Structure 1
């Protein structure tokens, strides 16, 4: 049994390092279907469930301290990668498709909450899931923390995200050969040649990990202090919103050109996932199947609105598919789908997915609070 804070953090770090190594250096097929974040969470949760981590005051304190310090730092670094100038070059069809995807996901979550009558805990968990399906796992962690999602309920969100997202990716890839039939149905303009000239927000060069870590932790400290002075809903929500706004502001400066923010923020995200998993106990789970089904209902409503919007605005299958997966799948999968249409369109998937880092936090918080209100009725 692990009883000390240092032993606890060392174990968390080893779990993260192991799965990060597998993800980067191996070609195991399991990682294509089950993301590293899910495996990190699962192993950490199993250790907690078997009593490896002693739930004493010292470990609880270091858990809370590490999570509080890393969360705003991670959000800040994630948002530094955005380049709004490139995003605005996507063109009318893709921008409409992206806006339609965000709206349809929001509407689908709210309608599904009406149908399933979630309690407060599950409503908060699905609010976190909304953050993920509008942005990414980082947004899920941020929204879940702001809404006070219990560690056990967070596992529901992660499983629904993993299972339903995998099915959604398979469906969108299956539909690629039928693009011409769909485009004929919507009477869209299939000319996407100009998109191949758009670059992504990434740049090449030496990594500046230590500079980024130091700066991100300084921003984290500033956000925590500011959150005690200006409270929006609660201190955690304030801290997250301030980190988000500072990250957006930083993306307009030369900070965006400092390489390594993606790697550092991803490492911080993995540690946060492992920390949350270490406070979950597997025996508390029940009725998981109904929540996976609820996730599928959300995707069905989202798909119906997207198809209807494509018909009204004459959008092509590429635009609505990549816009959808940029939200639901993020940077890991949207570029892959874009490449199946044309390899020169990979950067389009990257740009749309990166924008989700902003939308996911604000959208998830909004939907989460709506779901909580619905759950209290």
Structure 2
């Protein structure tokens, strides 16, 4: 439970998706919750430093776009499209709206709990039958009910986004969901001992190297495909910061683009668990080697 790769799996969940994915990795791989505060400390420090760099870059976005050779006409078109959609669905939420949002949220989670119980039981037998031991350890996430609960709720959320229920975004669906994200983070925080970071301060260096690779690849790809700085900044923050900070970065470019930050963050949540599992798979191999 104290293995570093287990702790880094939570960091992968956070930096690919967000808080929910981070919690999923904590539950799936059973990292020692007393040591978890060190990983959260790395997450907060490195992620906020990177966000500060991005915000500084926004003030010089014209120069950066020129250096990237980017065509920003797509951004202007996006501003107009998002503004129009926001105006179409935006409304003051009624009691009915709030009750429907609550029903969707709790109904989805209830169904996910129900389905996760059956799936985790089925895959527990499957995983226990795998040999050798290394292969079995690599697929332990399949026996976690929390993994299946997150996966089921994510799939349902994506499906509902293609129905008329997506208009509830205008009634504050994302804000409603963010409340529960903060509750989730608070409950995790009650189990931490942040002073333990001094027992393993090397984690800060690992986090800095990790983020440097992330930044380097983003800049390289943006330069190659001549992508505007907007997509680099908001796309990065949607992964690293999630729904809490991606809209802030997007709105720094233009207030109407905040929704784009939310949408990219939601996509990050959708792939966060699977992406973090894949990343942890590689870390397990490295640790075993």
Specify the TM-score bucket, using the shorter chain as the normaliser.
0.7 to 0.9
Tell me which residue corresponds to 2:148: 238
Matched, 1:223 2:115: yes
Matches within 5 A, 1:171-210: 171-191=53-73, 192-199=75-82, 204=91, 205-206=93-94, 207-208=98-99, 210=102
CA distance in 2: counterparts of 1:241 and 1:283, whole angstroms: 33
What are the residue-to-residue correspondences of 1:157-172 with 2, within 5 Å? 157-172=39-54
Partner of 2:201, secondary structure, is helix
Q: What is the Cα deviation at residue 214 of structure 1?
A: 4.2
Shift in Å at residue 210 of structure 1?
A: 4.6
Kept in 2: contact 1:139–1:361 (CA 8 A)? yes
Name the CA shift for 1:245/1:170 in 2 (closer, same or farther; >3 Å): same
Q: TM-score, normalised by structure 1?
A: 0.61
Which of 275, 287, 308 is the aligned partner of 2:220?
A: 308
How many residues are paired up?
A: 259
Q: Which ranges of structure 1 fall in alignment gaps of 5 or more residues?
A: 1-118
Deviation readout 1:173-216 (Å, 9 max, x if unpaired):
11123223322222211222101133378754331155245413
* 2-structure distance, mates of 1:279, 1:322: 31
Instruction: Give 1:126 deviation, angstroms.
Output: 1.4
Matches within 5 A, 1:322-341: 322-341=234-253
Q: Secondary structure at the match of 1:233?
A: helix
Structure 2, unaligned runs of 5 or more: 124-140
Return the alpha-carbon distance in structure 2 between the equivalents of residues 327 and 311 of structure 1.
Answer: 20
Question: 1:250 corresponds to which residue?
Answer: 160
Contact 2:237 2:246 in 1 (8 A): yes
Compared CA separation, residues 221 and 338, structure 1 to 2 (3 A): closer
* SS of equivalent to 1:318: helix
Determine the C-alpha separation between the residues in 2 that align with 1:225 and 1:257.
31
> SS at the partner of 1:244?
helix
Alignment check: 8 A CA contact 1:186 1:316 kept: yes
Whether contact under 8 Å (2:246, 2:262) holds in the other structure is yes
Local SS of the residue matching 1:319: helix
Distance 2:209 2:58 in 1: 22
Q: Give the alignment's Cα RMSD to 1 decimal.
A: 2.8
How far apart, CA to CA, are the structure 1 residues paired with 2:236 and 2:8? 18
Give me the whole-angstrom Cα distance separating, in 2, the residues matched to 1:262 and 1:169. Answer: 21
299-308 or 147-156, larger mean C-alpha shift? 147-156
Which residue does 1:151 correspond to in 2? 33
Structure 1 contact 326–333 (Cα < 8 Å) conserved? yes
Cα-to-partner distance string for 1:204-258 (whole Å, 9 max, x where unaligned): 4331155245413421332233224432631333343333333333333445455
| Alpha-carbon offset, residue 298 of structure 1 | 1.3
CA separation of 1:272/1:346 partners in 2, compared to 1, >3 Å: closer, same or farther?
Answer: closer
**Equivalent residues in 2 for 1:44-123, closer than 5 Å:** 121-123=3-5
Deviation at 1:294, TM superposition (A): 1.6
The change in CA–CA distance for 1:238 and 1:274 in structure 2 (over 3 A counts) is: same
CA distance in 2, matches of 1:189, 1:376: 46
1:353 paired residue number = 265
Tell me by how many angstroms 1:145 deviates: 1.2
CA-CA distance at 1:367 after TM superposition: 0.9
The TM-score with structure 2 as length reference comes to: 0.77
